[in-house]
Amino acid sequence: MSENVTRAGTALLLLVAAVLLASRGPAAIAQSAAPAQGLPADLKDLRGEWKRAGAGFGCKVVPPRQLSQELLLAVMARACQRLGPLVVGDAASTAAGALGPPHRTLKQPRDQVAWIYFIGQRERYPYFVVTVAADKIVALQVTGEAAAPGYEFSQVALGASKDDLVAVFGQPSHFEPSDLKDVELWTYPPHPFSFELKGGRVISIRVRQP
């Protein structure tokens, strides 16, 4: 795996985390992630994209300025754990701040709680699930059969075709029937994201804590 950071232009850096995260393993994401309050204001809300890096994936981010390697790792780890307005690893209070009180809550195993937000009409798809444990966001998931603007993940949206998904992420490392009828679960272990497909279309996107 290459250890070189690709640089594009003088004002912006095109950073592919294959050089840093993929070579160190997915645990580097968790170890390097920085909460929003620990980052300068211009770096808090950057959105990254997962890209194929050999047999694994790297995180592609375009920061507004040149960064130290330590800060670079923190920014990449955070940017590629974002789904919708939230980031896995942030305080649970950021969900309430961005989305208000949840429309529903459901207890989950291991002392986790799922906060459910309906993105459009109440009690209808699409909906957004924020899973919380020990006052931290540990997983984010968006579900529905039609696109939910702002909830794309590495340019893959709800409703995307199987071919669209494969074009970005490749074939899954593992797939199996979901708990839902006629739904397939695509996973890419050990990477912390997965997709559910029905009728050849993406109906759910999930990113979790590594």
Going from N- to C-terminal start, the domains of the chain cover: 15-80, 87-208
Helix (H) or strand (E) holding 205: strand 201-208
pLDDT of residue 125: 95
Assess whether pLDDT exceeds 80 at residue 198. yes
Q: Which of 22-26, 58-62, 142-146, 155-159 has the weakest average pLDDT?
A: 22-26
Assess whether pLDDT exceeds 50 at residue 8. no
Give the integer Cα–Cα distance in Å for 84 and 134: 21
pLDDT of residue 93: 96
- List pLDDT tens digits, range 108-124: 999 999 999 999 899 99
Reported pTM? 0.83
Q: What is the mean pLDDT of residues 13-30?
A: 40
Give the integer Cα–Cα distance in Å for 143 and 84: 12
The closest of 80, 71, 66, 65 to 18, measured between CA atoms, is 80
Q: What is the mean pLDDT of residues 4-19?
A: 30
Q: Could you give the percent of the chain with pLDDT greater than 70? A: 82
The closest of 191, 198, 162, 161 to 177, measured between CA atoms, is 198
Q: What phi-psi label fits residue 9: left (phi over 0), alpha (psi between -120 and 50 degrees) or beta?
A: left
User: Which residues in 88-97 are b (16+ Cβ under 10 Å) and which e?
Assistant: bbbbbebbee
- Architecture category of domain 87-208 in CATH: 3-Layer(aba) Sandwich (3.40)
Contact 210, 26 (CB under 8 A): yes
Assess whether pLDDT exceeds 90 at residue 81. yes
pLDDT of residue 210: 83
- Which pLDDT band, with edges at 50, 70 and 90, does 37 fall under? low
List Cβ<8 Å contacts ≥24 apart for 182-190. Answer: 188/57, 190/25, 190/26
Assess whether pLDDT exceeds 70 at residue 32. no
